[in-house]
Chains A and B, each alone.
Chain A
Amino acid sequence: MDSVFHQEPFRGDYYTRRFEPGPDDSTLILNMGPQHPSTHGVLRVVVELEGEYILRAEPVLGYLHRMHEKMGETRSYLQYMPNMGRVDYLHPLAWNHAYVCAVEKLGNIEVPRRAEFIRVITSELNRISSHLLWWGAYLLDLGAFTPIMYAFEERERIQDLLQEPTGSRLTYSFFRPGGVAADLSPEFLQGVREFIPYMRSRLPMYKDLVTDNIILRYRCEEVGELPLDMARRYGASGPVLRASGMAYDVRRAEPYSVYPELEFATPVSQRTDAMGRYKVRLAEIEESLKILEQAVEMIPEGEILVKGAPKPRWKAPAGEVYQAVEGARGKIGVHILSAGSAQPYRIKLRAPGFSNLSLFAELAKGTLLSDAVSILGSLDLVIPEIDR
């Protein structure tokens, strides 16, 4: 067997060589991705299979690496805003929020109250839309084609709403250090008020179509059980962690913006499996609706951008700041080190998906290939965020 595929550039790369089968090669080395329908973008997972059981799995990253951290060092504080919309394209406003909060901490900038409420309202709407897309895509992984279309019905409404103040539908660059870029109109607030009961009326349909479905339950229940201790060792956060029974939410643990004034619960599940993660996310949609309900009534009149907000050539004072924010996927961290110039000296982005994916290798061991797909989906991965 010395065909062309067994000679050099075809001999496989670093990863496939590491997975070279041993002397009794009864196992199958399989490359899932980077162009695989259920790896959501360009994740690659090398798996070693015995029949359909996974002996080893290893995610391979870097196919969508854009070096956002280096870009941060070459751009001014304002110019980095569009990058924040593109790290995690499903919940960009959380990244917007983390970044502007970090810059505000660094520069000691006050934010008008109205702007804080605008941030919360748009960010929570964005969280719902992110969970909706996850819901549809997860079911697509499990072989149900229709739910994603229903989820998109709601998601489109959210995007139509968010489009009005932010001007975009996906990669929002809306928050600014010291406030936000545009005010919310009364029509927008009315739209949110109308959206809340509409979204609530759709949730029973989700339950009938999917959550209760016996096939889905058998695909999720007792699949990918993540013990709390393992979640801690890998630094899991967000719904993945909360489904393992820990009520940890950055909005409560490290309060930012006006979240302390709002009433909402932190959904937890003790199931630890994929079904737990599923249920936590659906419950989070309801909690976000509760936040929206309160926020649209509480929003005060006033400025949306503080006077003296950073101008394009603004220089941040020297110093260090770490800001964590609860994104749809978990704990987003922005760590800025400033030397007092117009660009950050170093900016570190902590992506929740990065930690959440790193536990996949251990979680997938010994499961079926179909279960691995289900686990991968239940972690809610956004590859651009993981690769950054």
Chain B
Amino acid sequence: MEATLLDPRMFRIVAAAMALAAFVGLNALVLVYLERKIAGHVQRRPGPFEVGPHGLLQPLADALKLIGKQLFRPAGADALLFWMAPVVSFIPVLPLFLPIPFDPDLVAMHVEPGLLLILAFTGINVLALCMAGWGSNNKWSLLGASRAVAQSVAYEIPLLMALLAVTFMHGSLNLSEIVEAQGAWPWQWNAFIQPVAFIVYFTCAVAETNRAPFDLPEAESELTAGFHTEYSGMGFGLFFLAEYANMIVVCAVATALFLGGWQGPFFSGWWWFLAKTYALLMVIIWFRWTYPRVRFDQLLNINWKWLLPLSMVNLMVTALVMKLF
């Protein structure tokens, strides 16, 4: 079967990619604003206030500033790796959104093993951090990158296992099917049927997206800015965008797998999906403005000594229960 440019499926993909790029950009802006506003109010200050009413246009101003800034490469940096890294960090974010079902019909691409696609593409991000850290010719970046690699590789395993438990239950990797298999009411959601998997997944998701308290690759009080120390302008901007986009993805996946997706007790639809995703995002933001940062060896200990055994036990129990009943 030959796909030509005029193939309707091709059109759909291109249109979906553009829509998704817009969606990612818009949501990243909203998230940046939310983060700063929440941080402000948690700290009893107004947060951004001057650009636009209640600082609404502040993220836009930030984006403009980042775009306008000079791109700067330190002497001795590997030009190829250095410039590829932000791109490699950002590009895989778009395919991540393809199989996410916002609505029974609102899916960019119906992919049967959708979950697999997401897991495959999230793995690329760590490569970008590694490239950025190595290519910057900066010791802080290098330390940040080495932390990022160890952390991402470690946390991907329990994350996978937690998801696997859910897919065992439903016998599917298709997100839409998993959503439909859950009911409309909270007690029918997987978060309540598989609470351990949900907690493990959510913890790993925070770690995978390098968010506080697991933000070690950029730990600014230790490594100045970690892997993106040397990036300015849009080089930094793309990393920033990718971080927020990744946050949206992990929360969207959590919504689909654990919180019943678009289904709600009433008026089911994409707004439910968005509301649940944003609720999770806000929890992640709330974490950041509450907790201190864990230490690196403790971070790995949490993973290998707690999350991994927990998720394995959970997986085995799930498998046993599925087999028996």
State whether A38 touches B43 (Cβ < 8 A): no
Cβ of B62 within 8 Å of any chain A Cβ, yes or no, is no
Mask of B2-31 contacts with A, CB within 8 angstroms, 1/0: 000000000000000000000000000000
Looking at the assembled complex, report how far the CB atom of B157 sits from the nearest CB atom of chain A, in whole angstroms. Answer: 22
Question: How far is it, in angstroms, between the C-alpha of A143 and the C-alpha of B143 when the chains are bound?
Answer: 17
Mask of B260-296 contacts with A, CB within 8 angstroms, 1/0: 0000000000000000000000000000111111111
Within 8 A of B (CB), among A137-191: 139-146, 149-150, 153
Looking at the assembled complex, report how far the CB atom of B141 sits from the nearest CB atom of chain A, in whole angstroms. Answer: 12
State whether B291 touches A368 (Cβ < 8 A): no
State whether A38 touches B222 (Cβ < 8 A): yes
State whether A216 touches B222 (Cβ < 8 A): no
State whether A38 touches B139 (Cβ < 8 A): no
- Looking at chain B's contact residues, the main secondary structure is loop
Looking at the assembled complex, report how far the CB atom of B82 sits from the nearest CB atom of chain A, in whole angstroms. Answer: 17
Interface centre among B143, B215, B220, B292 (most CB of A within 10 A): B292
Chain A residues with Cβ under 8 A from B224's Cβ? 36-37
Whether A219 touches B297, Cβ cut-off 8 Å, given contacts A145-B39, A370-B222, is no
State whether B292 touches A215 (Cβ < 8 A): yes
Contact of B221 among A5, A38, A218 (CB under 8 A): A38
State whether A153 touches B44 (Cβ < 8 A): yes
Chain B residues with Cβ under 8 A from A213's Cβ? 291-292
Chain B residues with Cβ under 8 A from A142's Cβ? 221, 292-293
State whether B222 touches A373 (Cβ < 8 A): yes
Within 8 A of B (CB), among A231-248: none
Cβ of B76 within 8 Å of any chain A Cβ, yes or no, is yes
State whether B296 touches A37 (Cβ < 8 A): no
Chain B residues with Cβ under 8 A from A36's Cβ? 224
Question: How far is it, in angstroms, between the C-alpha of A215 and the C-alpha of B288 when the chains are bound?
Answer: 13
State whether B220 touches A37 (Cβ < 8 A): yes
Looking at the assembled complex, report how far the CB atom of A11 sits from the nearest CB atom of chain B, in whole angstroms. Answer: 15
Whether A139 touches B292, Cβ cut-off 8 Å, given contacts A5-B76, A369-B222, A373-B221, is yes
Chain A residues with Cβ under 8 A from B220's Cβ? 37
Cβ of B250 within 8 Å of any chain A Cβ, yes or no, is no
Cβ of B219 within 8 Å of any chain A Cβ, yes or no, is yes
Question: How far is it, in angstroms, between the C-alpha of A28 and the C-alpha of B45 when the chains are bound?
Answer: 41
Cβ of B135 within 8 Å of any chain A Cβ, yes or no, is no
- The total of chain B residues at the interface (CB under 8 A) is 31
State whether A368 touches B297 (Cβ < 8 A): yes
Looking at the assembled complex, report how far the CB atom of A145 sits from the nearest CB atom of chain B, in whole angstroms. Answer: 6
Whether A144 touches B297, Cβ cut-off 8 Å, given contacts A37-B224, A373-B221, is no
Looking at the assembled complex, report how far the CB atom of B219 sits from the nearest CB atom of chain A, in whole angstroms. Answer: 6
State whether A218 touches B294 (Cβ < 8 A): yes
State whether B45 touches A219 (Cβ < 8 A): no
Cβ of A3 within 8 Å of any chain B Cβ, yes or no, is yes
- Look across to chain B and name the residue whose beta carbon is closest to the beta carbon of A373: B222
Contact of B292 among A4, A49, A219 (CB under 8 A): A219
Cβ of A209 within 8 Å of any chain B Cβ, yes or no, is yes
Chain A residues with Cβ under 8 A from B222's Cβ? 38, 369-370, 373
State whether A370 touches B295 (Cβ < 8 A): yes
State whether B45 touches A215 (Cβ < 8 A): no
Chain B residues with Cβ under 8 A from A216's Cβ? 292
State whether A219 touches B290 (Cβ < 8 A): no
Question: How far is it, in angstroms, between the C-alpha of A37 and the C-alpha of B143 when the chains are bound?
Answer: 16
Question: How far is it, in angstroms, between the C-alpha of A200 and the C-alpha of B186 when the chains are bound?
Answer: 42
Cβ of A298 within 8 Å of any chain B Cβ, yes or no, is no
- Look across to chain B and name the residue whose beta carbon is closest to the beta carbon of A4: B75
Cβ of B212 within 8 Å of any chain A Cβ, yes or no, is yes
Cβ of B42 within 8 Å of any chain A Cβ, yes or no, is yes
Contact of B296 among A4, A49, A146, A370 (CB under 8 A): A370
State whether B143 touches A3 (Cβ < 8 A): no
State whether B295 touches A141 (Cβ < 8 A): no
- Look across to chain B and name the residue whose beta carbon is closest to the beta carbon of A145: B289
Cβ of A52 within 8 Å of any chain B Cβ, yes or no, is yes
Chain A residues with Cβ under 8 A from B219's Cβ? 143, 370
Contact of A52 among B143, B290, B298 (CB under 8 A): B143
- Look across to chain B and name the residue whose beta carbon is closest to the beta carbon of A29: B139
Chain B residues with Cβ under 8 A from A5's Cβ? 75-76
Whether A149 touches B44, Cβ cut-off 8 Å, given contacts A369-B143, A370-B222, A373-B221, is yes
Chain B residues with Cβ under 8 A from A28's Cβ? 139, 142-143
Cβ of A286 within 8 Å of any chain B Cβ, yes or no, is no
Chain A residues with Cβ under 8 A from B213's Cβ? 143, 215
State whether B290 touches A144 (Cβ < 8 A): yes
Cβ of A387 within 8 Å of any chain B Cβ, yes or no, is no
Question: How far is it, in angstroms, between the C-alpha of A49 and the C-alpha of B140 when the chains are bound?
Answer: 12
Mask of A116-147 contacts with B, CB within 8 angstroms, 1/0: 00000000000000000000000111111110
Chain A residues with Cβ under 8 A from B294's Cβ? 215, 218-219
Chain A residues with Cβ under 8 A from B140's Cβ? 30
Chain B residues with Cβ under 8 A from A210's Cβ? 292
Looking at the assembled complex, report how far the CB atom of B205 sits from the nearest CB atom of chain A, in whole angstroms. Answer: 18
State whether B295 touches A218 (Cβ < 8 A): yes
Contact of B289 among A4, A146, A215, A373 (CB under 8 A): A146
Closest CB pairs A-B (n = 8)? A143-B293, A149-B43, A144-B292, A142-B292, A38-B221, A370-B295, A141-B221, A216-B292
25 pairs, A vs B, C-beta closer than 8 Å? A28-B139, A28-B142, A30-B139, A37-B220, A52-B143, A139-B292, A142-B221, A143-B212, A143-B215, A143-B219, A145-B289, A149-B44, A153-B44, A209-B290, A215-B213, A215-B291, A215-B292, A218-B294, A219-B294, A368-B297, A369-B222, A370-B219, A370-B293, A370-B295, A373-B221
Interface residues of B (CB under 8 A from A): 39, 42-45, 75-76, 139-140, 142-143, 212-213, 215, 219-224, 288-298
